[in-house]
Amino acid sequence: MYKISETYQVACAKAGCTMKDVCLRQQLYLRIVDTESVVNIVNPRIVTANEKCPYLVKPRTIRYAKGFMRMLETLNVKQLDEFRWRMISKTNRNKYFKLRKGEILLTPEEQQKVFDVLHEIGLNIENPFDSYVEKGIWENV
C-alpha cells in the first residue's frame, strides 16, 4: 500500500478513466468516498481520461538503505574516525548515529553521501549498507 502524502490528498472521480487502475488519485477516491464527508477532487470536466492527464499520479518505489554498522566494523580506527567526522559534517551528529544504526532510513541521496565519503577517504566498498527497504511513494507524471 502506498502512503498518501498530504500534498496529494486530492482525489479524482473521473468516470470511465482508462488510467483508473494505476492512478493513485482514482484509488484514493475509491478508498475515501464512502467514509469522508468532505472530499477534495479535481474537476472531472477538465480531467482527461487517459495517460496524458495532467493530474495523473503513478506509484513509484524507492529503495532506502537501513544502517551501515556492518561496514563500519571492517574499517580501521583511522578510517572509522575520518568516515564518522565527514558524515557528521554532511548531516549532523544525532542524525549520523541514527542513520548508522538504521533508526532512520537512508534516502538515495543520503546513500550517495555515504559512497562519496568512502571515496573521499580512499575506500571502495561496493555495498556498505546493512539492508534495504523498498517503499512506495506518489509521483506526478
Write the pLDDT tens digit of every residue in 32-84: 888 888 888 899 888 888 888 888 888 888 999 999 999 999 999 999 999 99
Task: Report yes or no: 50 and 23 within 8 Å, Cβ to Cβ.
Answer: no
- pLDDT value for 118: 96
* pTM for this model (two decimals): 0.66
- Taking only Cα atoms into account, the Rg of the chain, rounded to an integer number of angstroms, comes to 21
Q: What is residue 132's predicted lDDT score, i.e. its pLDDT?
A: 97
pLDDT of 139 higher than 70 = no
Position 141 scores a pLDDT of 46
**3: pLDDT strictly greater than 90:** no
Closest to 24 (Cα-Cα) out of 136, 113, 115, 125: 136
Q: Report phi then psi at 112, rounded to 5.
A: -65, -35
Q: Which residue has the higher pLDDT, 24 or 2?
A: 24
Concatenated DSSP letters for 104-131? SPBPHHHHHHHHHHHHHTT---S---SE
Mean pLDDT of the chain: 88
Residues 102, 65: Cα–Cα separation, whole Å: 8
Q: How many other C-beta atoms lie within 10 A of the C-beta of residue 85?
A: 13
